[in-house]
């Protein structure tokens, strides 16, 4: 299965039509499944509220949600070994590791340079 984990930065850029969003949408279309942790939902709707934009629940309808049923201590430690990340960015990477123990089988979609670098160091796929 050709799958991707999507960080909030990617989802917000697409939703708000930021520069280059057409390419981001095109890349999303190449995946059989797009996954995210439910923290993305809070961050996503917070961005809408900050900008005073009416939210459309359909925007996240195709996301497959990752809901870990245990602490992600091993995944957090593994991510931090690859580089420092702030809490929310670290949680996204840890959730992606929870989803794909072998990162090379999953593309990590982010527009955050630090998070992207850690994902590359962990071996997540670059392209779908």
CATH number at residue 57: 3.40.50.1010
Number of domain units in the chain: 1
Residue 128 placed within a domain: no
Helix (H, G, I), strand (E, B) or coil at 114: helix
DSSP string, 42-94: HHHHHHHHHHTPPP-GGGGTTEEEE--SS--HHHHHHHHHH----HHHHHHHH
pLDDT of residue 58: 83
Q: Which two tokens stand for residue 90?
A: 């670290």
Q: What is the pLDDT of residues 11-37, one digit of tens each?
A: 999 999 899 899 999 999 999 999 999
Structural domain for 48, as ranges:
3-122
Q: Which two tokens stand for residue 41?
A: 């939902």
2 Cβ contact partners less than 8 Å away, ≥ 6 residues apart: 30, 31, 32, 33, 128
pTM: 0.93
Q: What is the percent of the chain with per-residue pLDDT over 90, rounded to a whole number? A: 84
Residue 127 placed within a domain: no
């Amino acid at each position: 299965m050709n799958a991707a984990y999507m960080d909030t930065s990617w989802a917000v850029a697409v939703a708000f039509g930021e520069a280059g969003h057409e390419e981001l949408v095109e890349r999303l279309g190449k995946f059989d499944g797009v996954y995210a942790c439910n923290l993305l939902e809070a961050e996503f709707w917070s961005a809408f509220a900050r900008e005073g934009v009416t939210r459309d629940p359909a925007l996240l309808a195709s996301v497959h949600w990752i809901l870990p049923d245990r602490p992600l201590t091993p995944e957090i430690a593994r991510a931090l070994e690859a580089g420092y990340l702030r809490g929310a960015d670290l949680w996204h990477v840890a959730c992606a590791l929870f989803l794909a123990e072998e990162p090379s089988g999953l593309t990590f979609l982010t527009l955050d340079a630090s998070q992207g670098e850690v994902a590359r160091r962990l071996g997540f796929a670059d392209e779908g």
